[in-house]
Amino acid sequence: MIGSVKLASGLQNSLLVSLLNLLLVVVTFAAFIFPRFSNWGLGLVRLIVIGLIAVVCLAVRDLWRRGTRGRAVLALLLCLPALFLFGELTVWEGPLYINAEPATPLKFQVRGPAGFWGLKILRPDPKASEHGDDALEWAWTIEWINVRRFPPMQLEFSYGTPPPGYQGWTAPPPLDPHATYTLIVKPAMGTGMCYTLQGALIREYKHPYPAICDK
pLDDT of residue 185: 92
Contact 25, 48 (CB under 8 A): yes
Q: How far apart are CA 124 and CA 99, in angstroms?
A: 19
Q: For the chain, what are the domain ranges?
A: 2-89, 97-214
Residue (of 57, 24, 56) closest to 43 by Cα position: 24
pLDDT of residue 93: 83
CA 138 from centroid of its chain's CA atoms: 26
pLDDT of residue 208: 54
pLDDT of residue 186: 92
**Under-70 pLDDT residues of the chain:** 1-12, 125-136, 206-215
- Report the SS3 class of residue 28: helix
CA torsion sign, 118 to 124 to 130 to 134?
Answer: negative
**Beta bridge partners of residue 144, listed in sequence order:** 166
